[in-house]
Amino acid sequence: MPSSKTNSGLTPSFRVVANFLLHRDYFTSASIRVMVFADRIEIIGSGHLPDV
């Protein structure tokens, strides 16, 4: 994955990891899955989007 920087100055992969850690549900002991494919990386965890 290229390490080009976005407008915020952070690499896209850093932003994905930061968002995952911020939105993770720390009250459950669910495992984290990281799957690496040729064209993408998928991170699956116990977090969810907030209700609005």
The 10 Å CB-count burial string (b at 16+, else e) for 11-42 is eeeeeeeeeeeeebeeeeeeeeeeeeeeeeee
Distances (CA, A) of 12 to 7, 30, 33: 10, 25, 19
Provide φ and ψ at 20, rounded to 5°: -60, -45
- Provide the token pair at 38: 């040729």
Written as tens digits, the pLDDT of the chain (52 aa) is: 555 655 666 677 788 788 777 777 777 777 778 889 999 888 887 766 667 7
- pLDDT, position 38: 92
Domains of the chain by residue range: 12-44
Under DSSP, is residue 23 helix (H, G, I), strand (E, B) or coil? helix
